[in-house]
Structure formats: structure tokens, C-alpha cells
Amino acid sequence: MSTATEPRRDTPARTRATHTAPSFWASVWLVSSREIASRLRSKAFLISTGILLLIAVGSVIAGGILSANTSTNTTQVAVVGTASAVVGESSGLTAVPADDVAAAEALVRDGTVSAAVVPDDSLLGVSVIALDSPPADVMNALSVSPAVELLDPAAQGGFLVYLVALGFGLVFFMSALTFGSTIAQSVVEEKQTRVVEILMTTIPVRALLAGKVVGNSIMAFGQIVAIALLVGIGMAITGQRVLLADLGPAIGWFAVFFAFGFVMIAALFAATASMVSRQEDVGTTTAPVTYLVMLPYILVIIFNDNPLVMAIMSYVPFSAPVGMPVRIFLGTAEWWEPILSLVILALTTAGVILFGSRIYRNSLLRMGGRVTYKQALRG
């Protein structure tokens, strides 16, 4: 009897296309996109962002109104020689003739005039002499922007320093706490509903953590950039050019420091949140991170006029995003100090990411009671 066998037919499993998991960076982008879309659909996020932007715009408008009110009366300035032509073209200034530069300086020192406009060899042909600080009303009234020479330079005004320190501290505190809490709630929600078990079948744990941090970091940094642009444009429109020139470098450095600092904070929020399985326990486990976010805000308000405390804050990674920009605004930081502080912050952020990812990886699938740090680190 013939025992010829029939050709074996391919089963559906053999004809089905082989599924390939996405690469690491593709997984990170998938998670990041999901986080960004979730934030943009959140009414709470949109409202909080709108409030921050309104506060920024309101503070700039208020500053412009105050500066406009202070400049409604004409300001007396000493003029020497051909500089009188420049002052004569500017409304709000009253020229007080002086025989020479020395006489103009004497009028400035005794308080007879707010500043002196004298001829020089620059392209503009004039320069401004003031006593202890750049005369904003004079600079705004002039049709040109000459160099300013200070006879007796003084530190920034105490109230102005307080407002700038409060602004940097408040923006860092609100943005870091808002997005950090969002990350923590998202981690616990996925863990509580066991969605994370489905995600981990196709996405590596490291990519899941990285996606959450990257997505929320993009949103937080975008919020900071929007605030910085609004403040800069508002100051330029309202004529606060002198303050903008002083504050501009500090705002730029703040954005850079915030980018690194928030990644560090976000990794800690995600790691500590992964140690619990219920939303009710999130506040307790993330409390240490919340305190780290609140500390710079409190310290910069209390010690903004203390050079030693501000110098220490500018090098401690958790407070550097607030402390260093304030010192840059005050002019007390050397050119190399922001770079050194940023290197310390970047290295600390890298270490925190490694530390946080280990906790996150070892705690994510542990259900029930709270995972201790010893259990999370041991695995």
C-alpha cells in the first residue's frame, strides 16, 4: 500500500505576519505622545497654564504702568555741548546746561539732576552718566540707547530683587509640582488598573519611564518658554528696556536650568509613585520630592538678600534652577559659575535617572502594600 503523505498545509499561524516590537526610542515617543495628548486634553492643565500666563502678562503690564506713572513729570538731566540736541528731541526730559563733564558729574552727585548726557566718541555720539543705577526714565525717553556710566554703582533694589526671586521661585515651584504630580497620578493609575501589565508586554520598562519623563518635560519646558517670551515681548512693548536688558540673561539661564532640573524631579516623582498601588497613597510616598520642590521657593523668598545662602543654593542641584538665575540677575555670579553649576546639575540628573529607573522597574509590578526603598532597590 502506498504511504505517500500529503503536502503539509501552512497553518494560519505560519501565514500570519510576524509581529515585531517597536524599538526603544519608538516606544519612548509613543509614550511621550500619549502623555502630551493627555495633558492637552486636560482642562486642569489648560486652566493652570492660562493662569500662569495671565500672571506673567499682568506683572509686566503693572510694571509698565508704574514706570509710565513715574515718568509723567519731566526729568531734569545735565547736558554738555552737542548732547543738548539729543535731549531736546526727547519728550519728558528737561535739559540743564553744564560747562563740562566734571560740572555735569557734580550736578548728578548733589542730586540736582537725575543723570547727565555728555558727548563721547561712540557711534551714537553721547553717553549717559548716572549715580548708582541706570536711569530707566532717561533711557526710555531718549531717542537713542547710549552707554551708561555709573559714578557709584549700587546693588539691585531690594524690592526688585524680591520680585524677581519670587517670580523665578514661583514659576519653578508651580510647573515642577503640577507636572510632577501629574506624572505620579498617571503611574499609579496605570498600576492600579493593571494597564501597565499590558504595556510592558510590548514596551520596555525603561522606555515607559523615559516616555513619561520626556513627554511631561516637553510640556513643562514649553510652558516656561511661553512665559519667558510673553515677559520679554511685554517689557519691550511697555518700554521697560533697561529692566529687560538686566533680566534677559537670567531668564535665558533659568530656562536651561529648568530643563535639567525638571527631568530630575520628574524621574523622582515617577519612581516614588511606582512604590504604591492606590491613588490615596500617592501624597505620602511623593512627599519627600514635593519638599525638594518647595524648598527653593521658600529659601529664595527668605534669603534673596543673603549672598552666602544664594551662592550655596546656586550649586545645590535641587535649588540651582532658582538660585543661579537670581545671582545672574544680581551680577554676583562669575561667568564660569553658571557653567559649573549646570554641569553639577546634569551629572546629578543622570544619577537620579539611574536611581529612579531601578526603583521604577522593581516596583511597577508589585501590587498591594507600599514597596519599601530596600525592596525597590534590591529587586
Q: In the predicted model, is pLDDT for residue 59 greater than 90?
A: no
Q: What is the per-residue pLDDT for 305?
A: 82
- Tell me, what amino acid is at 199? L
Q: Are 165 and 321 in contact (CB under 8 A)?
A: no
Beta strands 93-97; 126-130: pairing state: unpaired
Interval 292-345: pLDDT, tens: 999 998 998 888 888 899 999 999 999 999 999 999 988 889 999 999 999 999
Tell me if the pTM is above 0.85: no
Query: Residue 36 region, left (φ>0) first, then alpha (ψ -120 to 50), else beta?
Result: alpha
To the nearest whole number, what is the mean pLDDT of the chain?
83
Distance, C-alpha 152 to centroid of its chain: 33
Q: What is the pLDDT of residues 41-52, one digit of tens each?
A: 888 788 888 888
Can you tell me the mean pLDDT for 225-236? 85
Give all domains of the chain, ordered by start, each with its CATH number: 25-63+157-378 (no CATH), 74-150 (3.40.190.10)
Q: Over 80: is that where the pLDDT of 369 sits?
A: no
pLDDT, tens only, 239-270: 677 677 778 899 999 999 999 999 999 999 99
pLDDT digits (tens, 9 = 90+) for 11-23: 444 444 455 667 8
Q: Where are the alpha helices (DSSP H) in 89-199?
A: 101-109, 136-141, 158-192, 195-199
The yes-or-no verdict on residue 4 having pLDDT over 60 is: no
Q: What is the pLDDT of residues 156-178, one digit of tens each?
A: 556 777 888 888 888 899 889 98
Check residue 280 and report its DSSP letter: G
pLDDT of residue 154: 54
Q: What percent of the chain has pLDDT over 70?
A: 87
Distance CA 142, CA 92 (A): 9
Count of beta carbons in the 10 Å neighbourhood of residue 307: 12
Determine the average pLDDT of the residues in 146-151.
72
Helix 24-40 and helix 158-192: axis angle, to 10°?
Answer: 110
What would you measure as the largest C-alpha separation in the chain, in angstroms?
131
Query: Among candidates 183, 157, 153, which has minimal Cα distance to 285?
Result: 183
- Residue 59 vs residues 52, 238, 272: alpha-carbon distances, Å: 11, 12, 36
Other beta carbons within 10 Å of 365? 13
CB atoms within 10 A of CB 336: 8
Q: Which residue has the higher pLDDT, 234 or 189?
A: 189
Question: In 10 A of CB 338, how many CB atoms?
Answer: 21
Residue for cell digits 501565514? 15
Per-residue model confidence (pLDDT) at position 1: 44
Share of the chain above pLDDT 90, in %: 31
Q: Comparing 12-21, 56-65, 116-125, 166-175, which segment has the lowest mean pLDDT?
A: 12-21
